[in-house]
Structure 1
Amino acid sequence: MPQMDHVSSLRRRYQAMPNLELKEAIIAECADFISASLDKKEIKDRISSSIDSEFWQQFSEILIHYYLKRYGFDFSHPPSGPDFKIKYDDTTIHVEVITPKPEGIPSYWINHVPGTAVSFPHEEILLRWTAAIKEKAEKLLGKRDGSTKGYLEKGIVGPDDVYVIAVNARLLRGFSGMWGQINGISQFPFAAEAVFCLGPMQVKIDRNSLKIVDSDYQYRAEIIKPNGIGVPADTFLDQHFSQISAIWAVDLDESILVGRPQPTAIVHNPSARNPLPIKVLPSQVEYVAEAFEDAYKLMSSVGICAADSGFETSEF
């Protein structure tokens, strides 16, 4: 049986979608991405795949491409290295995209049965974020044991370039993927929890009056995997990762192509050798950690696309 072309594959994937405008927007955006890229065959193969993880890894890049194009960026798709190379004034910004697979996420979350109550598997989801960030950090820096060289050592990313890891959480959604979600149990983005040792909120109660006298966030330096091994959650507190400028946390699906707002946030690395300038990449909110006595204080500010979605935020 002859293999279907990528357009036929897309039409088959979205055959049950009632929104004809969105269907055509998907096909048109894929065509635009392919025309701007060098490795056209590999892209066509991925968007033709019936395996969701393969399709979404490629389609996430297409949606980021759309976002950058929509906001007027001057960018290209290099033949090797990070997925996007952006020219911003005198700064080169590299963006590496990853879509974590829902490995280890309970089925009751991914394939929710309507009418049933479920718990929020925040630690399982956070482990997928930490794994994604680790994978793309190693792409830049190589492995710590020196067994694999990274983009820096290969000269693909310059020592003065900005490097951003874009994580699309589309495949980690609960309730059968009904809506996007990038915030963890702390109500901060999973991206912040994964790099700042940020755990759940806790309150202090006076044992005599039984009144709440203080509240803060738990310090969580690692997340424990089911096998008992701890996974570090302190990437931005470790100078080894100072070449990583920021995490671009998104949960993008097809509907952004017809104007539906999607959750986006940027978490900046306070130790970055080459910081990502504030309010450059599209996001609803940006988080910056400011040194405060012997700790960091995580501050938020409205991002450049907040107005598009009616999003509002304030400092924490």
Structure 2
Amino acid sequence: MALQGIDISNWQAGLDTAAVPSDFVIAKASEGVGFADPTMQGFLARAAAAGRLVGTYHYATGADPVMEADHYLAVAGDWISRAILVLDWESGSNKAWGDGGWVRRFVTRVHDRTGVWPLVYVQASAIGQIPGDVRAHCPLWIAQYASMQQTGYQDSPWNEGAYSCVMRQYSGTGRLSGWNGDLDLDKFYGDRDEWTRLAKGDNDMVTKQDIQQIAEAVVNIDLNGVKLRDRIIGIDTAANTTRTTTREIKTSVERNDKRVYRLLQSLKRFTGIPDDDTTSVPDLTQSWLDKRVYRITLLLKRLTGIPDDATDLPDTVTLSDTQLDLIADRVAEKLNAMKEQ
């Protein structure tokens, strides 16, 4: 099964992605190291709400590839793992055109940070610029037009099958109901599951949904008949704990040097590990405390780059401000919800 869709940018500002017929919508996110397309969020939000699959792309300008990749990911933000990621590799305004090494460094940076290999958009005549090792990981999105005549969606675009690709852009002068202007038309050679797989990538990176699961797992741990959430909010007075408020959590977020240390010390106390500076939190087996603490430990490792093996968690680790803020927000939400019950 194939899917039909469009790719757009600020040049189509005002287009209603829920009104124009499509299976998917790919919107420009960024260009170079400074430009962020102001229409991306609206385009994707409207499309996703209407049940469309979504994607984002970055237009390469040939600046430092790591910096361009970082800029792209900063702009893509919460759409990462929900939308497919794409490197738009064209000759216009691209001083690195012809340099396959630049492409390799960009896609590797994206994968290192997200676990997702981006697609690479390139014209049919320049497929050779994309190194073989990149093509082994990154599906190609090939642009080739039969003509510049206006057209609607095509089931069998001209020259289909002449090269291996996951998606084909076959017109830059497409016409669809709901928009009085030219559109890029694309055919994706896969189904919704394949699109979702490409968007999620390795599936091992921590997302907001993972953080929500961490928060839920933490507050629901049962220790000798007492829920950890009860200890946290002060219901279990025998535990001699203090009531945690949203303000206190937010304040702790601002103390980067102590936040994770305190979290690990709390895990020690609640799991019976000596509360000192010499005993590390072990790699817990899946049978201990059901699977919940094991999952928390595993996700903490992935957050901090520690191998998923028997390596112990250290007493102090470093998380990014974004990761810590998200964790604090989720835990605060859970605590507030419990207090209102």
Common fold: TM-score over 0.5: no
Bigger Rg, which one: 2
Higher strand share: 1
**TM-score, length-normalised on structure 1?**
0.24
**TM-score, length-normalised on structure 2?**
0.23
Higher helix share: 2
